[in-house]
Structure 1
Amino acid sequence: MVDKVIEYFNPQPGCIYIDATCGTGHYSRVILEKASGKCKIVCIDKDPRAIMRAKEYLKEFSENIVFIRNGFENLLEVMRKLKINAPSGILFDLGFSCEQISDSSAGFGFRQDGPLDMRFNPESGISAMDVINKFSALELAEIFRKYGELNNSLRIARLICEERKRRKFETTRQLSDFIAAHYSSRKNIHPATKIFQAIRIYVNDELENLFKGLNSAAEILAEGGRIIVISYHSLEDRIVKKFMKETPNIRALLKKPIVPDEYEKRSNPSSRSAKMRVAEVIL
C-alpha cells in the first residue's frame, strides 16, 4: 500500500512527517524520495533491532532523519523533546516486517524457533514466557478471548497450565507445537496464530498504546495534517474506526478502508488482512 500512503500524504519539501512504526524504514525512504530528499522524517520504534536496520537502510538520508527509540504511545513526549510542532503527516503501520518475524531471537513468530519473548522492547515489561508459565488458567483464557477472539479459550488455557507442571514453556516452537496438538482452528490458519497474537498484544499493551498514539497524533498535527493507519486485525481496526469517527478535530477521508489488490496479496501474503484508513485534522 506504499502508493496509497504517498497519494494521501503527498510529501512536500520542507514538511515534517512522522513514521510512528519505523520498522525497516521502507515508508520513510519512499516519503523522502517523493519529496526529493528535502523533507524531515522522525522515525520512531521501540525495537532496538528495527532502529539499527532502519539506520543502515536510510543512511544516505541521515541529515533528514531523526531516529527515536520509543513507542508511539509516547508521541507527545517525543515531539516536545525534539521541539517539533505541527507535522504534516503521521503514519502508523501496525504490522510486522519480514525481518521481525524471521528474527527468532524476538520470539514473535512460531515458524522460527526462539525464546518465548514477544516484547517489542526486550529490555522492559513481562515476556510471553512469564505470561504462559505464571498466569492462571482463567487469566490466560481471558487474554486468549479478549485479544485472540477465541470462544473456547478456557479449554486450551487449562491444557497449557497442566502441561507447564511437567515442563516449563521456554520456546516458540515448544508452545506452537503444543497448541497444534491440542487445539484445532476452523479457519485456514495455523492453530497457534490467534493465541500468539493474543499474547503479543497483551505483553506489549498494543491496543491501549494505539489509542494513546492516535489521540496524540490528533493533538500535534498541523491543520490539514493527515493520519494514515494500516491495521491487520479487527481489534485494531475497530479502535481506528472509532477514533476517526468520534474525535472532534478529525475527519475521516474514506468511507471504507483501502485493502490490498490481488496483485499485492500475491506478492506480499502478509498484507492479505491489511486495512488502511486515512483522516485529516480540522479546526
Structure 2
Amino acid sequence: MKYHSPVLLKESVDALAIKENGIYVDVTFGGGGHSKEILSRLGDSGRLFGFDQDPDALENIIEDARFTLIPENFRYISRFLRFHGVKKVDGILADLGVSSHQFDEADRGFSTRFDGDLDMRMNQKSKVSAKEVIGTYSEEKLAEILFLYGELRNSRNIAKTIVEKRQEEKIETSFQLKEALQKYLPNAVEHKILAQIFQAVRIEVNEELEVLKEFLLQTPNLLKEKGRLSVISYHSLEDRLVKRFIRTGLFIGEPEKDFFGNIEVPMQKVGKLIVPDAKEVKVNNRARSAKLRIATLKK
C-alpha cells in the first residue's frame, strides 16, 4: 500500500533524543516511515509501539521483534501500553491529521479532488460518517462545526444551504456536496473553502480535537524523567492545542500560581518551532503547513 514520505522525518525523530535501549511510541503509524527511522536508531533491547486505527495501516506492519503494532486509536495510549506491560516510555511521536494515502483513496471521501462516498472515517468501524453529519445534523449544529473546525465566517449560510439542498435530494458524495455549495465556491478560492468545509466535517466525524486533548493529557504520566514528546500538526486548531498544553498543561484558562507566584506545569518546550524547508515542501506538498513542537517532561 503506497504511503507518501513522512514529513519532517529526521527532525521529528531527532527530537526524541533516542536511547538505544529506550521504549518509544509512534502513535500515528500510517505507512511506518517514522517507525522505521526510530527502529534504525534503537539497539537490540529497545522497543517501539505503533498505534493506528486504520485497517490499511496494518498492511505496512514491520517484521521486527522490537516492534508491536496496536490497531487502536491513540486516545487509549495508556490503557493499551499497560496491557503490554509498559507504564513509562522514553519518547512519544505524533504526526497528526490525515495521511496522504487516505487523501488519495477516492472511496474514503477525505479528498475534495475525487468523487467518493462521504465517509471520512479514519476508523472504518465508527458509527458516524460524513454522510450522517451532512445528512442528519441540524442547521445549528452544522453551523457550529463549520465555524469552530473549519473557521468559516459564513458558516450559518453554508449550513442553511446544506439543509435546504438535502431536503430536495440526499447529499451522499463529495461532488454532490460540492455542487450543493457551488455559490460559496468562487473559482479563485474554491479549493481553499472546500478544504475548510471538508476539514470541519472530518474533525467532527473523527473527534480529532477531543482525541488530541485526551492523548496530550496522558503524556506527562507516561513519559520517564527527561522523556520527550514530538508532535507534528497541520492546522492551527491542532497546533494551538499542542502549543498551549506544552506551555500551561491546560487547553483553556491559565495554570494556578503557588504562594510564591510560581506555576506548576508538567512539560517544558525544547527548542523553537520547526517547519519544513522549501526543498521538502517542493518534494512533498503536504509538508507546507506542518509544524513540529517538541517538549520534555519537567522533572
- TM-score norm. by structure 2 comes to 0.88
Kindly indicate whether residue 266 of structure 2 is the aligned counterpart of residue 249 of structure 1. Answer: yes
Which residue in 1 is equivalent to 2:293?
Answer: 277
For 1:210 and 1:49, the matched residues in 2 are separated by: 21
The residue type paired with residue 53 of structure 1 is: E
Aligned residues between the structures: 277
The residue type paired with residue 3 of structure 1 is: K
Which residue in 1 is equivalent to 2:210?
Answer: 208
CA offsets per residue over residues 127-166 of structure 1, 9 Å max, x none? Answer: 1100101112111111100000001111111111111112
Which residue in 1 is equivalent to 2:100?
Answer: 98
Q: Over aligned residues, Cα RMSD in angstroms?
A: 1.7
3-state SS of the aligned residue for 1:159? helix
CA offsets per residue over residues 1-30 of structure 1, 9 Å max, x none? Answer: 111123222323221110011111110001
Which of 4, 9, 13 is equivalent to 1:2? 9
CA offsets per residue over residues 168-222 of structure 1, 9 Å max, x none? Answer: 1111222134334443487584431001000010111111110110111111111
CA offsets per residue over residues 98-149 of structure 1, 9 Å max, x none? Answer: 2111112322112122211111111123111001011121111111000000
CA offsets per residue over residues 74-110 of structure 1, 9 Å max, x none? Answer: 1111111111122111011003222111112322112
Which residue in 2 is equivalent to 1:11?
Answer: 18
For 1:68 and 1:6, the matched residues in 2 are separated by: 20
For 1:271 and 1:176, the matched residues in 2 are separated by: 25
For 1:122 and 1:243, the matched residues in 2 are separated by: 30
Which of 43, 49, 53 is equivalent to 2:59? 53
Kindly indicate whether residue 280 of structure 2 is the aligned counterpart of residue 264 of structure 1. Answer: yes
Which residue in 1 is equivalent to 2:74?
Answer: 72
3-state SS of the aligned residue for 2:107? helix
**What does 1:56-135 correspond to in 2, within 5 Å?**
58-59=62-63, 61=64, 63-135=65-137
Distance 1:156 1:76, change over 3 A: same
The residue type paired with residue 239 of structure 1 is: L
8 Å contact 1:119–1:204 — kept in the other structure? yes
For 1:105 and 1:37, the matched residues in 2 are separated by: 41
Which residue in 2 is equivalent to 1:27?
Answer: 34
Unmatched runs of 5 consecutive residues or more in structure 2: 1-7, 250-264
- TM-score norm. by structure 1 comes to 0.92
3-state SS of the aligned residue for 1:24? coil
Which of 193, 196, 220 is equivalent to 2:195? 193
Distance 1:160 1:106, change over 3 A: same
The structure where helix makes up a greater share of residues is 1
Which of 43, 50, 67 is equivalent to 1:43? 50
Which residue in 1 is equivalent to 2:159?
Answer: 157
3-state SS of the aligned residue for 1:222? strand
3-state SS of the aligned residue for 2:93? strand
Unmatched runs of 5 consecutive residues or more in structure 1: none
The residue type paired with residue 35 of structure 1 is: L
For 1:240 and 1:188, the matched residues in 2 are separated by: 29
Which of 218, 221, 227 is equivalent to 1:219? 221
For 1:11 and 1:20, the matched residues in 2 are separated by: 16
8 Å contact 1:125–1:203 — kept in the other structure? no
Which of 230, 233, 257 is equivalent to 1:231? 233
3-state SS of the aligned residue for 2:225? coil
Moved over 4 A (4+): 185-188
The residue type paired with residue 32 of structure 2 is: G
